[in-house]
Amino acid sequence: MTGPVRLGVLGCADIARRRTLPAVRAVDGINLVAIASRDPHNAQAFASSFGCAAVTGYDTLLARNDIDAVYIPLPAMLHATWIERALVAGKHVLAEKPLSADLPTTLRLLDLARSTGRVLVENFMFPHHSQLARIKELLSSLGTLRTFSSTFTIPPKPADDIRYLPAVGGGALLDVGVYPLRAALHFLGPDLTVTGAVLRVDATRKVTLSGSVLLHRTDGTAAHLTFGMEHAYRAAYDFTGTHGILTAEHVFTPPPSHHPALTLTQDGHRKELTLPADDQAASTVRWFTTAVTGRHTDHGHTHTVHLARLVGQIEEQAKTTLVA
């Protein structure tokens, strides 16, 4: 296609307001055209803050011929329905993670994207932060990697938060647990299998609150992942090799002004490294824009499929503890 990508948004989610849409406004080659909500007052208030049109109803936005692509920041369990409708309507799609709650649905959506000739991208922003390239460079100094650990935990949300609705928000595994899983795939590759998992589940609301997962590669390298929404905040990586240890903090949702801090330990000596700040949201939007305009064809589908596979394995194998 020629000209800027014309973007519409389905929903008025907080992540759209704080991260994605400011990045859209900052990136060349993409224009925000309209924002849709089921509530006309929400649509108007949200759209006015970004200087675009307000639309009542998601299907109404999908029917517009001045929209090339849509961003879907809806709750996790609503992703699949609206991704499918958007692709059928001929729109490219940037959807919040995960694409769906199960592997068969994810595969079907990716097949639909291919058959319609549309770009479908699962919106993980952290792989587009420049710190990941620097971390990969430093891993060579650790010798042979033996273990990888990653944590993403957040404090409890208000009782009426949508994450606590299993049929809508999907719980902690689909909200925060997918981050360390996606990180493990990024650093260790797709040769990962779930060895064991423990999930804490709210006995009343039937929603996952937190969990721990052990993965392994066929060479014996292990990944220990922790996630949840009943903790102090932490978002981190820990790599242990035969010749050193590397730790990184605040890795998943750093603001554009944040300077990542790494700690490299070798032979008992600690070295603190401070990296340049980077806007991972802008990098993600730029990457999506170049995909829509045909300048690259790798849309991350391999990682998307393996992530859905691991989530399914966790749900099938996990030991569950019910908590009041």
- Active-site positions read 97
Strands 245-249 and 261-266: antiparallel
Sheet holding 261-266, edge to edge: 269-274, 261-266, 245-249, 234-241, 145-153, 222-228, 207-216, 193-202, 319-323
User: Sign of torsion, CA 274 151 186 100?
Assistant: negative
Answer for the pair 299, 178: CB distance below 8 angstroms, yes or no.
no
One-letter amino acid for residue 45 of the chain: A
Strands 145-153 and 234-241, how do they pair?
A: antiparallel
Distance CA 259, CA 272 (A): 12
Instruction: Name the residue among 40, 38, 74 with its Cα closest to residue 54.
Output: 40
Across-strand partners of 228?
153, 210
Q: How far apart are CA 229 and CA 155, in angstroms?
A: 5
Query: What is the number of H-type helices and E-type strands within the chain?
Result: 11, 15
